[in-house]
């Protein structure tokens, strides 16, 4: 009996589905020793725009879902990823990673960490304001909306999760661009798809940074952008494009973000509400 | 000019006197604790009378550079080394000095800017003092403001402020910057420089170390030179969305921090179960406060169809009673439009509103012959696509639309590039929370409107700005958070 392996087709992750790029283009992925691994999808600007549309549709319900539910779902992602860690370790190693085990463990740890923030950052970043008039006045964080997320270029799973998790737990929807070890990013999308993350809340595109980052920065229906980059020219270009609709821009070094509730706050708007007190 | 040149709504004239203080014939720039003369100068006028009040220095690139250098010296040499408690004491002193000279500041504010004395006396000046008082207390408590973070000042801050709340905006910007350990170069708007320059006099009286705050007067070019100066670490701007975007582009790639408080087109939503009389007062206060020169003005009114006729009738009756005229008169509700330029813009948009098919109504009273005036105005039969519904007019002009369901009101209210503020009127608590949560706006007033307080964060969603000012959240605009 033949024992020929059945390789996976790596596609994009948009709206909870796994479509091929509309452009029909591929990125040929080869392993450390040059062996052919897969033809991944090379996402186009049109794929990105489609992803923003579904992301916008998904944003409202995700923002409104309870903090408790968001925490449950983030923890669920950690569970499902943990159950498949050996697969991720093998896949990352095949793509040239030398510390795959630590990478997967780091990603799981981040998910557990941010799961716990889901019902706590609001208290940390809220205030009741003692105004000098007979009003009850309070300020609370609300999700910014749709976020363009550009993951660190090394393509580590920890890097991907370190940018995705704070945006997600804060109630935003997002479109993530990954480069580097992109096969694991798409496998991670399978984890998301089986963890009760509502369709469209997280979308993952694999593609070329040069081609897609400007579009991520300029889209008028995107509210915020998270860019991991050490390239000053790229950062400046992104800021210039983002000015057109005054996107909130978080520029980070091109490596995994250390866990912090302040990364959640980067994608929150503070809303202040006033009401008179009296009878 | 006699007081009779103005209408006073049937009331006996009750003008505030302006004989108990001095507006100097000319003011220089306040740089490094000294008054610095400039070759070029410009006049500032009273928009209610057209009379020239004073002449002030026009800061060019050279003076901007001088001011930034003075701020840097003060930052490195004095201010960043001073304990928070000592910084706070200076701010407390400034707050007290401002309270003491409140009457003078209110009158000058009204003369230079055109706003009713009732507003400058009861809102602008007391709030400005309150901002210094509030932030004074933060200066030695910043370590408690941001859990898990180390807090450090940013450095030299360049601040550019508008003409609608000249003193209040100066206080609003300077107080938190100093509390957090930064030094400041502030440029007031060219039509309203006087209260900021008088504030510099207070800084002298308070003994504030030289260069900690520098006040430079000028127009757009001066502001641009300040924003683009390479030794400015942070830019804070309040003004139009168009200029805000230009500033956003100017700081791109520089690593400069920034906060932007920009335009708005707030929806004020009145439900059929609202307390109608209170709502009408709220609508009037929402759009006619400060002649509508307010970024968070309730310039779009949404009334539930079942009460629309009633609300509009009551509103018109109330508008007939609004006194337009001498800003120094304590009976005046609506003062002078800040500048001829702004008046022309308001007139142009109102004309467009009529051409696009909206139905205009104004009260029957007249306006004074001299000076810049515009009657309180409302438009009915407005459509979502009309320019008077989409664009910020920054004048006493209200666009009214009706709705049937809360969902429709929310969808229409959020259908704008702006997201600064909003209002909701209903006696039903659960409806308040439903709507205030759904509005994409940074400040939401429920059963009230246009309330401000230094403890209460202010700032917009979407293209109404980036960042918050005031309250706990506003502090982060002037601190580096290390985490």
Q: Is the pLDDT of residue B3 over 80?
A: no
- Which of chain A's residues have a Cβ under 8 Å away from the Cβ of B465? 246
Nearest alpha carbon to residue B335 among B360, B368, B365, B364? B368
Q: Specify the length of chain B in residues.
A: 483
Q: Is the pLDDT of residue B56 over 80?
A: yes
What is the pLDDT, as a whole number, of residue B9? 61
Residue A18 lies in a domain: no
Helices (H), A170-279: 182-193, 209-218, 232-242, 261-265
Cβ atoms of B338 and B47 closer than 8 Å: yes
Average pLDDT over residues B454-462: 98
Q: Where are the alpha helices (DSSP H) in B294-360?
A: 305-320, 340-355
* Known catalytic residue at B261: yes
Cβ pair B112, B46 in contact under 8 A: yes
The tens digit of pLDDT for each residue in B297-308 reads 999 999 999 999
- DSSP assignments along B7-42, one per residue: --TTSPP-BPP--SS---SEE-EEETTEEE--S-EE
Instruction: Please state the pTM of the whole predicted model.
Output: 0.96
DSSP state of A13: B
Active site residue B295: yes
CA separation for the pair A205, A182 (Å, rounded): 9
Q: Strand A135-143 relative to strand A127-128: parallel, antiparallel, unpaired?
A: antiparallel
Return the residue matching tokens 């008028």: A220
pLDDT band at B11 (very low <50, low <70, confident <90, very high): confident
The tokens of A74 are what? 């983030």
CB pair distance less than 8 Å for B253 and A232? yes
List pLDDT tens digits, range B408-429. Answer: 999 999 999 999 999 999 999 9
Alpha carbon separation from A94 to A83, A87, A164 (Å, rounded): 19, 11, 24
Catalytic residue among B63, B261, B391, B392: B261
C-alpha–C-alpha distance, residues A156 and A174, integer Å? 19
Chain A nearest-CA distance from B10, in A, is 31
- Residue ranges for chain A with pLDDT beneath 70: 1
Residue A16 is assigned to a structural domain of this protein: no
Among residues A276, A205, A234, the alpha carbon closest in space to that of A40 is found at A205
Q: Give the count of beta carbons closer than 10 Å to the beta carbon of residue B132.
A: 29
Q: Which of B16, B63, B295, B391 is catalytic?
A: B295
User: What is the structure's pLDDT at B7?
Assistant: 52
CATH topology of domain B3-262+462-482: Aldehyde Dehydrogenase; Chain A, domain 1 (3.40.605)
Give domain status of residue A7, yes or no. Answer: no
DSSP state of A17: B
Residue A76 CB coordination number (10 Å): 18
Which of A135, A139, A239 comes nearest B448 by C-beta?
A: A135
Beta-bridged to residue B303, according to DSSP, are: B270, B402
**pLDDT, tens only, B157-210:** 999 999 999 999 999 999 999 999 999 999 999 999 999 999 999 999 999 999
Residue B139: per-residue pLDDT: 98
Write out A112-134 in H/E/C secondary structure: HHHHHHCCCHHHHHCEECCCCCC
Q: Which residues of B touch A261 (CB under 8 A)?
A: 148
Total domains present in chain A: 1
Please, which residues bridge with residue B398 across strands? B378
| Dihedral of alpha carbons A174, A178, A183, A184, sign | negative
Measured distance CA(A55)–CA(A15) in Å, rounded: 7
- Closest to B457 (Cβ–Cβ): which among A232, A236, A270? A270
Tokens of B32: 């490094």
Judged by CB atoms within 8 Å, which residues 18-77 of B form the interface with A? none
* Structure tokens given for B252: 């791109």
Q: Could you tell me which residues are beta bridge partners of residue B152?
A: B480
Domain spans of chain B, in order of start: 3-262+462-482, 267-446
Return the SS3 of B382.
coil
Expressed as residue numbers, the domain containing A164 is 26-276
ipTM above 0.90, yes or no: yes
Between strands A173-178 and A202-206, the pairing is parallel
Q: Which CATH superfamily is domain B267-446 in?
A: Aldehyde Dehydrogenase; Chain A, domain 2 (3.40.309.10)
What is the rounded distance in angstroms from the CA atom of residue A103 to the CA atom of residue A88?
9
Q: What is the dihedral of CA B281, B283, B286, B292, to 10 degrees?
A: -110
Tokens of A223: 């509210």
Question: Cα distance from A249 to chain B (closest Cα, Å)?
Answer: 10
Measured in angstroms, the CA of B261 and the nearest CA of chain A are apart by 11
Radius of gyration of chain B (CA): 22
What CATH code is carried by the domain that includes residue A272? Answer: 3.40.605.10
User: What is the band of B377 on the pLDDT scale with cuts at 50, 70, 90?
Assistant: very high
Q: What is the pLDDT of residue B4?
A: 47
Kindly tell me if the per-residue pLDDT of B247 is higher than 70: yes
């Amino acid at each position: 009996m033949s024992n020929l392996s059945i390789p996976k087709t790596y596609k994009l992750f948009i709206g909870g589905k796994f479509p091929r790029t509309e452009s029909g283009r591929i990125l040929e992925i080869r392993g450390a020793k040059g062996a052919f691994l897969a033809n991944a999808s090379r996402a186009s600007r049109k794929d990105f725009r489609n992803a923003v549309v579904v992301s916008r549709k998904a944003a409202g319900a995700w923002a409104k879902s309870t903090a408790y539910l968001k925490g449950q779902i983030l923890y669920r992602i950690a569970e499902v990823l943990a159950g498949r860690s050996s697969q991720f370790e093998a896949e990352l190693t095949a793509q040239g990673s030398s510390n795959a085990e630590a990478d997967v463990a780091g990603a799981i740890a981040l998910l557990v960490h941010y799961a716990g923030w889901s019902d706590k950052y609001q208290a940390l970043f809220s205030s009741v304001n003692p105004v000098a008039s007979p009003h009850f006045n309070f300020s609370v964080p609300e999700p910014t909306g749709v976020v363009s997320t550009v993951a660190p270029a090394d393509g580590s799973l920890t890097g991907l999760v370190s940018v995705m998790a704070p945006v997600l737990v804060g109630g935003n929807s997002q479109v993530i661009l990954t480069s580097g070890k992109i096969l694991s990013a798409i496998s991670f999308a399978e984890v998301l798809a089986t963890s009760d993350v509502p369709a469209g809340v997280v979308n993952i595109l694999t593609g070329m940074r040069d081609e897609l980052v400007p579009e991520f920065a300029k889209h008028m229906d995107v509210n915020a952008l998270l860019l991991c980059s050490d390239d000053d020219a790229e950062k400046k270009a992104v800021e210039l494009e983002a000015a057109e609709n005054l996107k909130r821009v978080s520029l980070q070094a091109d490596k995994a973000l250390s866990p912090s509730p302040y990364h959640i706050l980067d994608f929150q708007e503070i809303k202040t509400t006033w009401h008179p007190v009296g009878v | 000019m006699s007081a009779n040149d103005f209408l006073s709504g049937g009331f006996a004239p009750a003008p505030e006197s302006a004989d108990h203080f001095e507006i100097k014939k000319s003011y220089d720039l306040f740089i490094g604790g000294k008054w610095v003369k400039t070759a070029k100068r410009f006049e500032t006028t009273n928009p209610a009378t057209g009379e020239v009040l004073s002449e002030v220095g026009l800061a060019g690139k050279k003076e901007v550079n001088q001011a930034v250098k003075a701020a840097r010296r003060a930052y490195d040499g004095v201010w960043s080394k001073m304990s928070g408690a000592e910084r706070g004491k200076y701010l407390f002193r400034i707050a007290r000095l401002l309270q003491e000279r409140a009457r003078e500041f209110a009158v000058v504010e009204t003369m230079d800017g055109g706003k009713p004395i009732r507003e400058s006396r009861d809102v602008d000046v007391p709030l400005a003092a309150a901002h210094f008082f509030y932030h004074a207390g933060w200066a030695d408590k910043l370590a408690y403001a941001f859990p898990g973070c180390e807090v450090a000042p940013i450095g030299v801050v360049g601040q550019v402020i508008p003409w609608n709340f000249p003193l209040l905006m100066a206080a609003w910007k300077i107080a938190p910057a100093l509390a957090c350990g930064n030094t400041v170069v502030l440029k007031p708007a060219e039509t309203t420089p006087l209260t900021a320059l008088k504030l510099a006099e207070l800084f002298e009286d308070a003994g504030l170390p030289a260069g900690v705050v520098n006040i430079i007067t000028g127009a757009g070019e001066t502001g641009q030179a300040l924003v683009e100066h390479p030794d400015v670490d942070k830019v804070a701007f309040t003004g139009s969305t168009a200029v805000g975007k230009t500033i956003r582009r100017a700081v791109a790639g520089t690593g400069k921090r920034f906060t932007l408080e920009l335009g708005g087109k707030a929806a004020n939503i009145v439900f059929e179960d609202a307390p109608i009389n209170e709502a009408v007062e709220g609508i009037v206060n929402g759009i006619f406060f400060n002649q509508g020169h307010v970024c968070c003005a309730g310039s779009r009114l949404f009334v539930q169809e079942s009460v629309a006729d009633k609300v509009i009738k009551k509103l018109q009756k109330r508008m007939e009673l609004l006194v337009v005229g001498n800003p120094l008169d304590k009976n005046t509700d609506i003062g002078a439009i800040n500048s001829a330029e702004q008046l022309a813009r308001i007139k142009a948009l109102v004309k467009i509103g009529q051409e696009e098919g909206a139905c205009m109504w104004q009260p029957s009273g007249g306006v004074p012959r001299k000076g810049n005036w515009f009657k309180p105005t409302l438009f009915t039969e407005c459509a979502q696509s009309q320019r008077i519904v989409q664009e910020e007019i920054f004048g006493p002009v209200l666009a009214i639309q009706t709705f049937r369901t809360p969902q429709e009101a929310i969808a229409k209210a959020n259908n704008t590039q702006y997201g600064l503020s909003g209002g909701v009127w209903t006696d039903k608590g659960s409806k308040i929370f439903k709507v205030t949560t759904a509005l994409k706006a940074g400040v939401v007033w429920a059963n009230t409107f246009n309330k401000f307080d230094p403890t209460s964060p202010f700032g917009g969603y979407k293209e109404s700005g980036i960042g918050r000012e005031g309250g706990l959240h506003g502090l982060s605009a002037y601190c580096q958070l290390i985490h």
